[in-house]
Amino acid sequence: MRLLKIVAVGAVLGLGGCIDMEMDTAILGPDQARVSGFAQVPRAMLDMMGGEDGFCAEEDGTLELTEEHARCNMLMEGTFAEVFEADVEGEPTPTATDLGDGTVQVVFPLGDFTEGMDEMTEDPAMVAMFRPMMEGHGVTLSISGREIVSTNGTLSADGTRASITFALTDLLEEEPNLPETFEAIVRY
């Protein structure tokens, strides 16, 4: 399972309103990255999905189960091609481009989070049904390195991390306040 598959699983589960996810992409060099983080769902949701299969792949994550939650802790490291590998050809993936000056431009497509939501957001009954399930749940994506040169996200006080956070209820808005991409130029 590569990063996009993890994020896609999160988006699908997010439509059910029961996921919290935090992922950090650390740029380690001109073609090296480490992705770490977690996705967490209520244990009942995991059981309804048919169990552990598909939620947390062994090669990229470790599953922690409690009575309340199922949490997939993820860690993967490798080249940009390995970390950002698409599971399906033609599927949009994050990109990382070495700019040749000790920096890398990282771009996460965020449009996938709102894809397929139009039909649901046009139906007030559907919005009313999903909103309570989505309340209090969210997604945080971050990009880190020695220095963030520029970003359209929120910059940490020490200048080494850019992040974007959104509540799942934001996806229910007719016009979600979510940029098409989350981007940063990172010095490694």
CA distance 147 to 156: 10
Residue 52 pLDDT? 66
Bridge partners of 147, per DSSP, are 187
Residue 156: DSSP 8-state: P
Question: What residues contact 59, with CB distance under 8 A and at least 6 apart?
Answer: 1
Residue 2 pLDDT? 47
The answer, yes or no, to whether residue 117 has pLDDT greater than 90, is no
How far, CA to CA in Å, does 10 sit from each of 55, 112, 135?
9, 11, 15
How would you classify the pairing of strands 32-42 and 181-187? unpaired
Residue 125 pLDDT? 85
Confidence band (pLDDT; 50, 70, 90) for 124?
confident
Picking from 180, 186, 154, the residue whose alpha carbon sits closest to that of residue 25 is 186
Which residues form the domain of 94? Answer: 3-187
CA distance 41 to 44: 8
CA distance 48 to 36: 26
pTM exceeds cut of 0.75 = yes
How would you classify the pairing of strands 154-155 and 147-151? unpaired
Residue type (1 letter), 53:
D
Sort 118 into a burial class: Cβ within 10 Å, 0-12 / 13-18 / 19+. Answer: exposed
Number of domains in the chain: 1
| Angle, CA 181 vertex, CA 178 and CA 184 arms, to 5° | 120
Name the least confident of 32-46, 71-85, 168-182: 168-182
Alpha carbon 104 to its chain centroid, in Å, reads: 19
